[in-house]
Structure 1
Amino acid sequence: MDNKTIDNLLIDEKEHLTKLHQIVKDTMKEEQLIVNNLLNPPDEVLSRGQAISDKVARFGGSWQFIIMFGVILTVWIIINVVVPIKDRFDPYPFILMNLVLSTIAALQAPIIMMSQNRQEEKDRMRSENDYLINLKAEMEIRSLHQKIDLLLEEQIKTLFDTQAKQFKILEEINSKIDGISKK
């Protein structure tokens, strides 16, 4: 190989590397927004009412609440059945207990719904983050496809160049053989 051929190969290799670097730069630019959103999610600011509703919902949906409530109701019923009639504060059919239970249920239901709405918003934000992660992965895959396509393109070009050089060499050999055979 002569110096001109080597220089052309080096120039082709440099162009190839430049294309690969450009693909990497473009991919990094596209991913920057996604990475910023994933690394710096917006801070969750809770009002006092939201914090209370979360605590009430957490406690109201626990076994501790169910067991404690069951014990209180059992003690309530036993006290109002066992103590003398004049000392009973809620005699059978326990109207005061029904009123207390209805009031608790009426207050607890909207509080739990507020907490569930907040949890739904958190789930929505989580799904948005999942979407961004999937989008980032898709962009990575697209970038890899571009790199592979570029590599294949360069390999095919190199293969054609090599075949062309081999064809020239074969023509030179053939012409030399023809020249020898004519003598």
Structure 2
Amino acid sequence: MTELTRKLLGANPADPEEQRVVDHIERRAPISRDVGDLADAQDSFWDRLADSVARIGGSWPFIGMFFLFLLAWTGTNSFLLAKGSAFDPYPYIFLNLMLSMLAAIQAPIIMMSQNRQAEKDRIAAAHDYEVNLRSEIEILGMQEKLDRLRGEQHERIFERQELILKQLERIEKRLP
């Protein structure tokens, strides 16, 4: 572990994210990865189905189609009611039952999808923390190197100035 990493994180990094960053720094390996693909690879069929239902059920086309379906249902039943043969007469109790069942099924599926998305967001946030920590350590390391190089350069400049002053003193002594 580098001196700077020890100074910033202590002798033993506290959590697994910090340890992973330290390991990558020591190996000089990149830490970035696509966490979206990683999370998607672990999804089951049911997870993907829940995401699809939530994606479709929460879209404007679905709302538009559903509105048209409700309009057609009520229009058809109202028309048939006038003829005396409506299959779901006003107040449309069967439609109400179907909508309630749809809501009872769709709501938990959407909540499952939201929970999964929240977990993906937590994974992405943890990864962002690792990348940011690695970047911060690398930037501070470069800053230390620049400071050290600047200090060495100043030392060389002072040494040259001393040499020049000594040469000037020798030249002055030779002058009448």
Separation in 2 of the partners of 1:170 and 1:139? 46
Q: 1:61 aligns with which of 58, 63, 72?
A: 58
Report 1:20-59 matches (<5 A): 30=25, 32=27, 35-36=30-31, 38-39=32-33, 41=35, 42-44=38-40, 45-59=42-56
In structure 1, C-alpha distance between the alignment counterparts of 2:28 and 2:39, rounded to whole Å: 17
How many residues in Structure 1 have an aligned counterpart in Structure 2? 150
Distance 1:118 1:69 in 2: 26
Work out the CA distance in 2 between the residues paired with 1:116 and 1:59: 14
Bigger helix fraction: 1
Partners of 2:147 and 2:23 in 1: how far apart? Answer: 19
3-state SS of paired residue (2:30): helix
Normalised to the residue count of structure 1, the TM-score between the two structures is 0.70
Q: Identity across aligned pairs (percent)?
A: 42
Look up the match of 1:167: 165
Find the counterpart in structure 2 of residue 120 from structure 1: 118
Find the aligned partners of 2:43 and 2:141 in 1 and give their Cα distance. Answer: 40
CA drift of 1:33 comes to 7.1
CA distance in 2, matches of 1:111, 1:34: 40
Secondary structure, counterpart of 1:35 in structure 2 = coil
Question: Does the CA-based 8 Å contact 1:31-1:139 persist in structure 2?
Answer: no
Query: Which residue type is aligned with residue 72 of structure 2?
Result: V
Distance 1:75 1:29 in 2: 61
Q: Which runs of 5+ in 2 are unaligned?
A: 1-21
CA deviation after TM superposition for structure 1 residue 98, in Å = 0.9
Going from structure 1 to structure 2, the CA distance change for 1:76 and 1:34 (only over 3 Å counts) comes to farther
Q: Against the structure 1 CA distance between its residues 32 and 109, is the aligned structure 2 distance closer, same or farther, given a 3 Å change threshold?
A: farther
